Amino acid sequence: MNGSYRGLSLHHGYPVWRLLCCLLLLVLPGVLQAAVTPQDAQINLQAGRNEYVLSLHLQYLEDADHTLDLDGARQALQAGRFQGGQTQALNLGFTESAYWFYLRIHNRNSTRNQWVLESLYSIMDQLDVYYRFNDGREQHQQAGDSVMFHQRARAHHNINFGLELAAGETVDVFIRAQTTGAIQMPVMLWSEVAFADKVSTEQIVFGLYYGMLFSLGIYNLLLFLVIRDRNYLLYVFYIASYGLFQMSLNGLAFQYLWPDSPDWNNRSIACLMGIGMFFITLFSHSFLALKNNSPFLSKVFIGFMVVYLGIAAATFVLPYQLVIRTGTLASTFGVLCIMTSAVVCLIKRFRPARYFFVSWAVLLLGMLAYTLKTFSLLPANFITEYAIQIGSVLEVLLLSLALADRIRILQDENQRMQARVNEELEQHVRERTLELERANRKLEELSTTDGLTGLKNRRHFNEVFALECKRTSRSGDTLSVILIDIDHFKNLNDSYGHLLGDECIKAVADAIAKAAFRQTDTKCRYGGEEFVVLMPSTPAEGALRVAGNIQEAIRALEIPHQGKKLAVTASLGVATVASEHEDAVRDVLAQADQALYQAKASGRNAVVSFSRGFTSGQVKKA
């Protein structure tokens, strides 16, 4: 049974078909269970073995009113209230109850002391693990997709906990699970070495998988820019939304994109499910030309799209349990509707529907192979383990071919419509003109953007500053300027190199952009390690408050370097002016520069405000 449940949770699957499989498992949790002998609640670690399936050894107890603590769970165990004997990894479905799980681990003679306990279902809100060793020691660890990512024992997309267990030692393990979604408990125990090998394999697979999606997305985006067929653009949105949802579903988004936002991570799956299904439905509606091929199904698709957008929006206002269940059900019916539409278009001999139908059929076969592997009806190997990934990649490739085939069909039709060549040519000229205008606007945008930080550059600042000076002098309103200079930046560059210096500049730019969040504010890289924030209609108090926020945001930065984290500080100069004379308004930049100089002279890492009541050399420290 060694490794027979590796990857048992459905989080690796393609999102749409994963939802179908989840619904099946939730409604019929006993269907298709393989004939596996129930296990007792003890695992014995043996020499030469580096991974263990814990799922069948777990005993469990429902805590419907959330009143049990660890002592209560122990008493319930002694009273025989825990139950077990399952022949599949526990799938308790959507529930508002908390659950306690128990097993005992005894290191009989394994030379491995360091172990990793891993939950293969990465979207559980919170798991608390309590270790009680035979010498009386106790440990508590907490992780989950609603808990800060850094609390995990290993920086891995699956929930995991560390365990140190020497030969001859025994530990009682209590696990408390609580989530707003479904409770599934496929659990593995890995030695440190085996876990590292597993992570290495996963990185290769996920790298190839997401690399393929990214490449196909870029390829189809370029095709859209050349061909101008909206189906290519919709397909790019299809791939992008699917990829982001998939990353959120398997925990990679929490690991790499928003590790410090557990609340958003907890809601992201339902939100991205709605967005992903919206673009899948929109692409299918456009590709199958349902307005012409089936006006009734076209209206049904539009209804589904409204529902999916509602699900995405409801994520932020309604209880997550209601949204995820509604989204799962709506996605299931949406997929069935898409397959039905493909069949209808095939019956009507709509030629582009051929590849479309085959691509979804391939995905379904991958899903079926993975499901049969899950229930031990197919052998566990690389093909069945990653059958859904393989099927989904083939599905994406086939849809790309379907788009190409669609273009070829359109070209054949165009050859039979030579009488409209002149009209089409004129249309192409108009399209190219619009394309050139878009390109010019894009070039203009690029010319005013700093390539390193993504902020606006000094050229853009000078243009905006001139306009704001005119506006302020006419209206008599206030205009504030904040100048920011990274402290000791030259020393940082000299000590750690320009690459780290660039990382520091980008991090500071991000901190400034987040701290000064008004749309009317202009945030620019002024030059080198200097930045400027232009704030129209902002009094001195407001500018000082924003400057303080920027200072704190920069002060909180930690730049990673060779296992260390380097602190960053900055000096800020603030000036505010209100005058009817444009030249006087323009002086605000020089005043902010004087305040910045004073901030440096006063020891740096300070905010200094220029006071118009003082002489040019007098400043006031914020």
Report pLDDT for 207: 87
Q: What is the CATH number of domain 10-197?
A: 2.60.40.2380
Q: Which of 512, 504, 513 is nearest to 560 (CA)?
A: 504
Q: Would residue 529 show up in a list of annotated catalytic residues for this protein? A: yes
Which of the following is catalytic: 118, 395, 529, 530? 529
Q: Name which residue leads in pLDDT, 314 or 418.
A: 314
Q: In the 8-state DSSP scheme, what is residue 581?
A: -
- CATH T-level topology, domain 458-621: Alpha-Beta Plaits (3.30.70)
Report pLDDT for 576: 93
Query: What average pLDDT does this structure show over 377-382?
Result: 63
Measure the CA–CA gap between 215 and 223, rounded to whole angstroms: 12
Query: What average pLDDT does this structure show over 531-553?
Result: 93
User: Is residue 619's pLDDT more than 50?
Assistant: no
Q: Ranked by mean pLDDT, which of 218-232, 260-274, 526-540 comes out on top?
A: 526-540
Contact 485, 568 (CB under 8 A): no
Q: In the 8-state DSSP scheme, what is residue 55?
A: G
Sheet bearing 530-536, strands edge to edge = 522-527, 530-536, 479-486, 570-577, 607-610, 619-621
User: Is residue 390's pLDDT more than 70?
Assistant: yes
| Pairing outcome for strands 570-577 and 607-610 | parallel
Q: Name which residue leads in pLDDT, 370 or 448.
A: 448
Q: Read off the pLDDT band of 37 (50, 70, 90).
A: very low
Q: Of all residues in the chain, what percent carry a pLDDT higher than 90?
A: 30
- The domain locations on the chain are 10-197, 202-439, 458-621
Report pLDDT for 101: 94
Query: What average pLDDT does this structure show over 272-277?
Result: 89
Residues facing 325 on adjacent strands: none
Q: Read off the pLDDT band of 358 (50, 70, 90).
A: confident
Ranges of H-type helices in 28-163: 70-78
Measure the CA–CA gap between 604 and 520, rounded to whole angstroms: 28
Measure the CA–CA gap between 306 and 326, rounded to whole angstroms: 13
> What's the gap between Cα 620 and its chain centre?
44
Q: Read off the pLDDT band of 99 (50, 70, 90).
A: very high
Q: Read off the pLDDT band of 327 (50, 70, 90).
A: confident
- Was domain 202-439 assigned CATH 1.10.1200? no
Q: Of all residues in the chain, what percent carry a pLDDT higher than 70?
A: 86
Report pLDDT for 6: 33
Measure the CA–CA gap between 118 and 157, rounded to whole angstroms: 10
Q: Read off the pLDDT band of 549 (50, 70, 90).
A: very high
Measure the CA–CA gap between 56 and 53, rounded to whole angstroms: 7
- Alpha-carbon dihedral angle through residues 531, 537, 542, 546, given to the nearest 10 degrees: -30
User: Is residue 28's pLDDT more than 60?
Assistant: no
Report pLDDT for 305: 94
User: Is residue 379's pLDDT more than 70?
Assistant: no
Report pLDDT for 125: 84
Summary mean pLDDT of the chain: 82
Residues facing 38 on adjacent strands: none
Report pLDDT for 100: 94
User: Is residue 32's pLDDT more than 60?
Assistant: no
Give the pair of three-digit tokens for residue 501. Answer: 């210096």
Measure the CA–CA gap between 249 and 268, rounded to whole angstroms: 9
